[in-house]
Amino acid sequence: MRSRIAASMMCADAGNLLSGARAAAVAGVDLLHFDVMDGRFVPNFGFAPWMIKALKGAADIPFEVHLMVEDPERHAGVFVDAGADIVIIHLEACRNIYPVLKGIRRAGAQAGVALSPATSPEPLKYILPYVDVVTIMTVSPGFAGGEFLPEMVSKVEEVSKMIGASGLAVPVEVDGNINARTIPLLARAGANVFVGGSSGLYRKDVELSQAVREMRAAAEGAC
């Protein structure tokens, strides 16, 4: 599966999001990643539907919304309506995940499921046919700049094997402190979508387009 780079818009210049979305697309990223937080599932706040809607016209690449919220069944639809092409919900936030995943697809978007670092991937084997992407959090969710958790490499490997055994072609995304140092480990373990934030894409030392090239080279060099 071809590796893809996603730009974490939480790490772009918050005062210039419209040009930030455009710049990420021009720099060559494959999708834009928006972290949505409700102050409950994680102690922080993130993007709102009206912001996604306002930014939608700025870049002609998929918009991926990562819902770090409680009760995602209450909120997933409004993000699809706002223009999300992919809506990712957390396994830990759902009491009954099937209707939520099915509802996202029925609304016309792709459905993703995210796992916080200490969540076992075991339940995935029951829901993979309803999932278009699995997102493994490689830091504790909620804030940019978190510490990379090396234990997540074996989890990515486990999930990749599970997907391989299922015969489905579900991409594995990694989110949190993803950069040229961590990508080779994760790519070899089977990850193929890399969310670049403050350490990978939005760096002070290089231009965005160069950072995209470095992340892509790290992903492609590892496989």
How many Å apart are CA 45 and CA 112, to the nearest integer?
20
Total interface residues for Zn ion by CB under 5 A = 3
Q: Which is nearer to Zn ion, 4 or 66 (CB)?
A: 66
Q: Does 35 bind Zn ion (CB under 5 A)?
A: yes
Q: Which is nearer to Zn ion, 39 or 164 (CB)?
A: 39
Q: Which range, of 38-46, 124-132, 153-161, 174-182, touches Zn ion by CB under 5 A?
A: 174-182
Q: Which range, of 66-74, 93-101, 197-205, 211-219, touches Zn ion by CB under 5 A?
A: 66-74
Q: Which is nearer to Zn ion, 44 or 209 (CB)?
A: 44
35 is catalytic: yes
Q: Which of 30, 35, 38, 132 is catalytic?
A: 35
Q: Which range, of 146-154, 175-183, 185-193, 208-216, touches Zn ion by CB under 5 A?
A: 175-183
Q: Which is nearer to Zn ion, 66 or 216 (CB)?
A: 66
Q: Does 173 bind Zn ion (CB under 5 A)?
A: no
Tell me the DSSP string of the chain. Answer: ---EEEEEGGGS-GGGHHHHHHHHHHTT-SEEEEEEEBSSSSSSB---HHHHHHHGGG-SS-EEEEEE-SSGGGTHHHHHHHT-SEEEEEGGG-SSHHHHHHHHHHTTSEEEEEE-TTS-STTHHHHGGG-SEEEEESS-TTSTTPPP-TTHHHHHHHHHHHHHHHT----EEEESS-STTTHHHHHHHT--EEEE-TTTTS-SSS-HHHHHHHHHHHHHHH-
Q: Which is nearer to Zn ion, 100 or 194 (CB)?
A: 194
How many Å apart are CA 100 and CA 169, to the nearest integer?
21
How many Å apart are CA 170 and CA 168, to the nearest integer?
6
175, 187, 202, 215: residue in contact with Zn ion (rule CB under 5 A)? 175
Q: Does 90 bind Zn ion (CB under 5 A)?
A: no
- Position of minimal CB gap to Zn ion: 66
4, 66, 155, 216: residue in contact with Zn ion (rule CB under 5 A)? 66
175 is catalytic: yes
Interface with Zn ion (CB under 5 A): 35, 66, 175
Q: Which residues are catalytic?
A: 35, 175
